[in-house]
């Protein structure tokens, strides 16, 4: 099993690249943002609880997303590997993920960290807001808060995995195909070890 964390700030291209990577490497895509949006659409109690936080650009509690990931791992026993997108977002989530994977005798193979300037992130998110229907994409105050949450709570995730030499920085600006091939070559290097 080979498991990947696609890491980076909001708007760094994680969703776009995830779609291509799961196809190329036969991985199961686990995006906590997508799972939460499905819960909101289905009007579950979890979705209702998460919505007010997501609408402000705040993170939802660790135990909520860790519980979702735990169920998703259990529901996919035949997976060749998982691609985590938007998770983990705090050190506590990272520790919890490592524990869940260890219980399944596996681990994170690599953390691919997309590097994109703040200016480009805001531009992309506002652009996405025109078509995504996501209320957290079309308001610059909410976008700024999401970037602040990333800087204050999520950058530590890269530090955490750096201690295990698992983090690779990849330039997240350029064409979708250029970024995809840079990501693929980092994965291939590790798969051939
Ligand atoms: P995303 O689709 O990854 O941009 O996530 C959208 C929103 O969902 C975030 O702004 C958070 O409110 C929430 N969210 C998604 N993933 C997580 C996570 N791992 N931890 C906490 N909140 C999350």
Dihedral-angle region of residue 39 (phi above 0 means left; psi in -120 to 50 means alpha; beta otherwise): alpha
pLDDT score of 174: 96
Q: Pull the structure tokens for residue 80.
A: 């060749």
pTM score of the predicted model: 0.96
Q: Is the pLDDT of residue 172 over 70?
A: yes
DSSP string over the chain: --EEEEE--TTSSHHHHHHHHHHHHTPEEEEHHHHHHHHHHTT-HHHHHHHHHHHHTPPPPHHHHHHHHHHHHHT-TT-S-EEEES---SHHHHHHHHHHHHHTT--EEEEEEEE--HHHHHHHHHHHHHHH--TTTS-HHHHHHHHHHIIIIIHHHHHHHHTTT-EEEEE--S-HHHHHHHHHHHHHHHHT-
Report the nearest atom of ligand 1 relative to the CA of 89: 19
Distance (angstroms) between ligand 1 centre and the Cα of 65 equals 9
* Mean pLDDT, all residues of the chain: 96
Residue ID of nearest Cα to ligand 1 atom 11: 59
Which atom of ligand 1 is least distant from the CA of 32? 16
The arithmetic mean of pLDDT across residues 140-154, rounded, is 95
**Ligand 1 atom closest to residue 34's alpha carbon, by position in its atom list:** 2
Angstrom distance (rounded) from CA 49 to CA 93: 19
Q: What is the pLDDT of residues 3-15, one digit of tens each?
A: 999 999 999 999 9
> What pLDDT, on a 0 to 100 scale, did the predictor assign at position 41?
95
Contact 111, 105 (CB under 8 A): no
Burial degree of 13 (CB within 10 A; 0-12, 13-18, 19+): buried
Q: Is 3.90.660.10 the CATH number for 3-181?
A: no
Tokens of 158: 């890269």
The protein residue with its alpha carbon nearest to ligand 1, atom 1, reads 33
Ligand 1 binding pocket (C-beta < 6 A) is 10, 32-33, 36, 53-54, 57-60, 65, 86-87, 89, 93, 136, 146
How many Cα atoms are found within 13 Å in the side-chain-facing hemisphere of 101?
Answer: 21
pLDDT tens column, 177-187: 999 999 999 99
d(CA 160, CA 19): 26
What ranges do the domains of the chain cover?
Answer: 3-181
C-alpha of residue 33 to centroid of ligand 1, in Å: 5
The tens digit of pLDDT for each residue in 18-64 reads 999 999 999 999 999 999 999 999 999 999 999 999 999 999 999 99
Atom of ligand 1 nearest to the CA of 36: 8
Does residue 193 surpass a pLDDT of 80?
no
Give the Å distance between the CA of 149 and the centre of ligand 1. 10
Of 36, 34, 14, 1, the residue nearest 121 (C-alpha): 14
Residue of minimum CA distance from atom 6 in ligand 1: 33
What confidence tier does 120 reach under pLDDT thresholds 50, 70, 90? very high
Atom of ligand 1 nearest to the CA of 90: 20
pLDDT tens sequence across 90-111: 999 999 999 999 999 999 999 9
Distance 76 CA to ligand 1 centre (A): 22
């Amino acid at each position: 099993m080979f498991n990947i964390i696609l890491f980076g700030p909001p708007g760094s291209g994680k969703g776009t690249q995830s779609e291509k990577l799961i196809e190329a490497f036969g991985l199961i895509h686990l995006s906590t943002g997508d799972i939460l949006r499905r819960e909101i659409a289905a009007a579950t109690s979890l979705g209702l609880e998460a919505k007010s936080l997501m609408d402000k650009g705040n993170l939802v509690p660790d135990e909520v997303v860790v519980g979702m990931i735990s169920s998703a791992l259990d529901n996919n026993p035949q997976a060749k590997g998982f691609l985590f997108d938007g998770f983990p977002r705090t050190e506590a989530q990272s520790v919890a993920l490592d524990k869940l994977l260890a219980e399944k005798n596996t681990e994170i193979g690599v953390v691919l960290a997309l590097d994109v300037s703040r200016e480009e992130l805001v531009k992309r998110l506002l652009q996405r807001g025109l078509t995504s229907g996501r209320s957290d994409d079309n308001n610059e105050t909410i976008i700024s808060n999401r970037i602040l949450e990333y800087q204050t709570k999520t950058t530590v995730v890269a530090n955490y995995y750096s201690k295990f030499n698992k983090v690779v920085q990849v330039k997240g600006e350029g064409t979708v195909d250029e970024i995809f091939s840079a990501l693929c070559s980092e994965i291939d290097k590790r798969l051939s070890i």
